[in-house]
Amino acid sequence: MTYNGWYNYETWLTNIHFDHFFDFFKEAVDDDVFEDMDAPAVQSYIADFIEQYVRDYVDETVGQNSLFIMDMIGSFLDDVDFSELAEHYVDDVMEVIEEKNNDD
């Protein structure tokens, strides 16, 4: 099943609300976070970062006030394809890495 070109509704919706990471990843390139990483490793790093960011955001926003709501949100987030979200960024990040390497 796909939704608006994304893996599923959960992935699409997460992208809609959290599509603002490129500047952070560009800064990470400047800080050599991705040094010696190939594209799959960069994508994995980005996927892990986005997942942790989103889960932390939900935890801080909703907190433990309602375990039922947290369970529903957790189930929703388990269906998000964070690797696909990372794929949305990886080509641009690799381009910035290549530009930085050419400038050095």
Q: What is the DSSP letter of 36?
A: T
What's the rounded mean pLDDT across residues 77-94? Answer: 94
What's the rounded mean pLDDT across residues 7-15? Answer: 95
pLDDT at 70: 86
- Do the beta carbons of residue 29 and residue 93 sit within 8 Å? yes
Q: Is the pLDDT of residue 1 over 70?
A: no
What's the rounded mean pLDDT across residues 18-47? Answer: 92
Find, among 37, 56, 49, 31, the residue nearest to 86 by Cα. Answer: 49
What's the rounded mean pLDDT across residues 48-73? Answer: 88
